[in-house]
Structure 1
């Protein structure tokens, strides 16, 4: 028995050391730094909650705006990913794997390439505005397509859609066909089959897809910096500024952990809301 336990410990030890060294230890150090301060560009180890009070006061509007925008990105991404996965699972037949492969090939495109592609599409001289002008639908370019929250949302949705597709597709593949056929035989309409049979079985995949899109969007600063404009500064931009421009790691760390806490709360609340909506629709 002891030899078996020793082998188990030996098998897990490398992964545990890697996880501790590259994930847990840096985060723990950053959490400790969030209680320190900076004087003359040097860290001072005098523990206080001043940085968190600053985050809750001066930066609360940026945090709320970031959470709202990230939640919108998460919802839109999850809805589109579910629609794609649903089509692949139930309608594409033997071409389902081909469609999934085509969707996943977009992962090989660089993140910045996608951002600049959307800049070319949404700009005043971009393809969309030029097409609308040529069609006579508008008399002048639409300025709010680029350098706005809309541009941030559409760019992030495009980037995150393949990542959200994977867990939902995996969850739908695990849905048993027998309950679906039984519901059809009993005369249940497609909407009831979706709500009563399919959605409860792929709940984990849907919540995972939303959480992934939401967390990445809440922490992103490159997209709002390049396509968001001056009115779309998210909390990631302020965190990046604290670390890089102001050389104030404690405030940046406090903002990061405050945002992390709020994102966890939002995901927990939306998960609870999702389950309650399913129960309400089932009754």
Structure 2
């Protein structure tokens, strides 16, 4: 008895769906239930309450807004840089494109913490960045705010996320055909017009994938703000860690985590809508 194509596809997806359910869906569902519980006498007590979410909006709304702004800045810078590098590899570099790609991907082997400590050393008062600026005569004394500031978090996470954003954008640009580009050049279109009207609309999905990745990971990061951000750059991930580990308040930490997920989802939906409107070809409107 032969199986239908739909049934064969379902059976093929069974292992992946099982792993997804056991290691992602069920833990997330349990954590969502915990957000409505409370802590009584240092014990996790099942009890339906909305007080955890009320406390989140009362005590952590500023931290959530600050985190979203930092993550949005990182995502925009990372996506723009990744597109510029991918465009160079795809259309401008010729045989050197693979060398550029390999150089960009080589940074993946450095490790997450290695990159953080590298930037911590470079951005310090005696770091290479300040020494270079002094030797060039641009400054007279080290810039103190380069380290332990939001700028340090942005620089570090942009460097970390850049290779991850580069790959989906480059994959999207690989699918752009040369024929419409040549036709546009023959008709007198300028390079920026070709990029805006032909290249960008065809890799809209890749741009959104890169933006989403470069936004979500920084939004949940707590190591980088702690090591290079300083005491004034606490992001929501630091508060979530403190609620779970320091204060042993799992319901509050879970509520803050799910509120952050919801806020990130709203940002991504808005970004997808804006990107769709901005990159819809004129002939498709």
TM-score by length of 2: 0.95
Separation (CA, whole Å) in 2 of partners of 1:8 and 1:198: 34
User: Corresponding residue for 1:235?
Assistant: 236
Separation (CA, whole Å) in 2 of partners of 1:97 and 1:139: 40
User: Corresponding residue for 1:155?
Assistant: 156
Separation (CA, whole Å) in 2 of partners of 1:177 and 1:123: 46
User: Corresponding residue for 2:3?
Assistant: 3
What displacement does 1:6 show?
A: 5.0
What displacement does 1:92 show?
A: 1.3
Unmatched runs of 5 consecutive residues or more in structure 1: none
Q: Does 1:207 align with 2:213?
A: no
Separation (CA, whole Å) in 2 of partners of 1:10 and 1:269: 36
Which digits, 9 at most, give the CA deviation of each residue in 1:40-79, with x for residues without a partner? 2211110111111111111000000000010000000000
Question: Are the aligned partners of 2:201 and 2:280 in contact in 1 as well (CA < 8 Å)?
Answer: no
Question: Are the aligned partners of 1:66 and 1:234 in contact in 2 as well (CA < 8 Å)?
Answer: yes
Unmatched runs of 5 consecutive residues or more in structure 2: none
Secondary structure at the counterpart of residue 189 of structure 2: coil
Question: Are the aligned partners of 2:204 and 2:279 in contact in 1 as well (CA < 8 Å)?
Answer: no
Which digits, 9 at most, give the CA deviation of each residue in 1:82-118, with x for residues without a partner? 0000000001112222221221111111100000000
What displacement does 1:279 show?
A: 4.8
User: Corresponding residue for 1:254?
Assistant: 255
Separation (CA, whole Å) in 2 of partners of 1:54 and 1:204: 37
Q: Does 1:106 align with 2:107?
A: yes
What displacement does 1:177 show?
A: 1.1
- Number of paired residues? 283
